[in-house]
Chains A and B, each alone.
Chain A
């Protein structure tokens, strides 16, 4: 057992015993792999784990516990997502206790029917520069460096995106796992107006992914939740990264780094170029 894990359990027990938080959202190990767990009793803290398989963003679960005080295990990207959601008035900083864990990247999932069985670092983690959450109540340092093998990088425009979209099943796993998709009625799922029909028409997969990309532009923190839960492995984070680049070039805005900096579409100066 690694030392960040011991520290994490000690902290969680302490928080729950002192009733600082009502529950702690963390990761537990199971036969099906590392998965989210919700710890309400101090006696359950031994379940908590921390390893490079903790890839699903836990921030998406925070919207289910709006009235409660929640402790959450957050990687760098999760912390950025929390910052961005606080700016969008979706979360209350007072109700969240952020247990920031230093993250050195997560593994790409080896799922059912993969022809490769070797563990590789996820692509989006290589680009990541924020290893520790920008806002935190407690910091757990970790020096685990298990990830050395990297995936050869290609240019984003080299990918044939249309053929990648064609594989899509529209299972909505990308939408459901995303910390930012908090709308109770999704614009690409609703009936009125039906931008995208309920049953999958292949040509609408293009619309689906483009609309989603537009909605994620300038908000996506590249936590890779969509990409790692996708059954057909569409590299969505790369698409959203490209739009974030547009925001960085034009406004110098990187989502989720600063609580004070307002999202660029809301503020502008006289004479500023769009």
Chain B
């Protein structure tokens, strides 16, 4: 039997996705079970999409965004941060571990930071175990 590996979806914003590329260029190693989805801005990621990703089988969802201090306008990152915080509160309320939704601040030159952080997150998700929402919703009392 193949050991279970967490499946992690990362929504990377335009800037931080070049940070992810940077990790590749500089030869940093990070776990292969992180699937990155490039989006124009982290604030475009609707919480509905994050919930849908969890429902479809992701064990954790990661949003990488620009650091608020580096932005000309702080609105987008602030919106993302607020949404993630709200979503985490909601998940905690309904009984899903809040660590399954995270936000990472990554600049376009921080390949190393990304690799380190992602390895840590994969490790922590492994400790949480599979989410298995389908199984939990179908289970009969």
Given contacts A156-B93, A243-B86, contact A162 B136 (CB under 8 A): yes
The residue that A207 contacts in the complex, of B51, B89, B138, with Cβ under 8 A, is B51
Identify which of B6-14, B76-84, B105-113 touches chain A: B76-84
Identify which of A17-25, A61-69, A72-80, A209-217 touches chain B: A209-217
Q: Complex Cα distance A214/B141, Å?
A: 27
Q: Measured between C-beta atoms, what is the minimum distance from B49 to chain A in Å?
A: 8
Which residue of chain A has the shortest Cβ distance to B68 in the bound complex? A274
Identify which of A107-115, A119-127, A145-153, A197-205 touches chain B: A197-205
Is B37 an interface position by the 8 A CB rule? no
The residue that B137 contacts in the complex, of A206, A265, A274, with Cβ under 8 A, is A206
Q: Complex Cα distance A207/B47, Å?
A: 10
Given contacts A210-B51, A214-B48, A243-B86, contact A205 B137 (CB under 8 A): yes
Most buried by A among B86, B94, B95: B94
Is A163 an interface position by the 8 A CB rule? yes
Which residue of chain A has the shortest Cβ distance to B92 in the bound complex? A157
Given contacts A210-B94, A242-B93, contact A265 B47 (CB under 8 A): no
Q: Measured between C-beta atoms, what is the minimum distance from A79 to chain B in Å?
A: 26
Q: Complex Cα distance A246/B48, Å?
A: 18
Q: Complex Cα distance A195/B94, Å?
A: 19
Is A3 an interface position by the 8 A CB rule? no
A187 and B48: CB pair below 8 A?
A: yes
Q: Complex Cα distance A187/B46, Å?
A: 12
In A205-234, the 8 Å CB interface with B consists of 205-207, 209-211, 213-214, 217
Residues on the B chain within 8 Å of A205, using CB:
137
Q: Complex Cα distance A214/B94, Å?
A: 13
B93 and A157: CB pair below 8 A?
A: yes
The residue that B138 contacts in the complex, of A157, A202, A246, with Cβ under 8 A, is A202
Q: Complex Cα distance A206/B131, Å?
A: 13
Q: Complex Cα distance A192/B52, Å?
A: 14
B137 and A246: CB pair below 8 A?
A: no
The residue that B95 contacts in the complex, of A161, A204, A243, with Cβ under 8 A, is A161
A268 and B138: CB pair below 8 A?
A: no
Is B126 an interface position by the 8 A CB rule? no
B82 and A265: CB pair below 8 A?
A: yes
B90 and A213: CB pair below 8 A?
A: yes
In B14-66, the 8 Å CB interface with A consists of 47-48, 51-52, 55
Q: How many residues of chain A get a CB closer than 8 Å to chain B's CBs? A: 31
Residues on the A chain within 8 Å of B137, using CB:
162, 165-166, 202-203, 205-206
Residues on the A chain within 8 Å of B55, using CB:
203-204, 206-207
Interface of A is mostly: helix
Q: Measured between C-beta atoms, what is the minimum distance from A182 to chain B in Å?
A: 18
Q: Complex Cα distance A165/B94, Å?
A: 10
Q: Complex Cα distance A206/B51, Å?
A: 9
Most buried by B among A156, A204, A211, A274: A274
Is B85 an interface position by the 8 A CB rule? yes
Is A261 an interface position by the 8 A CB rule? no
A162 and B48: CB pair below 8 A?
A: no
Which residue of chain B has the shortest Cβ distance to A218 in the bound complex? B86
Is A250 an interface position by the 8 A CB rule? yes
8 other contacts beyond A214-B48, A242-B93, A246-B89, with CB at 8 A cut-off? Answer: A161-B94, A203-B133, A203-B138, A206-B133, A210-B91, A242-B90, A243-B86, A268-B78
Residues of A within 8 A of B (CB): 156-157, 160-163, 165-166, 187, 195, 202-207, 209-211, 213-214, 217, 239, 242-243, 246, 250, 265, 268, 270, 274
Instruction: Give 7 nearest A-B pairs by CB, closest first.
Output: A161-B94, A274-B82, A274-B81, A203-B134, A203-B137, A210-B51, A211-B48
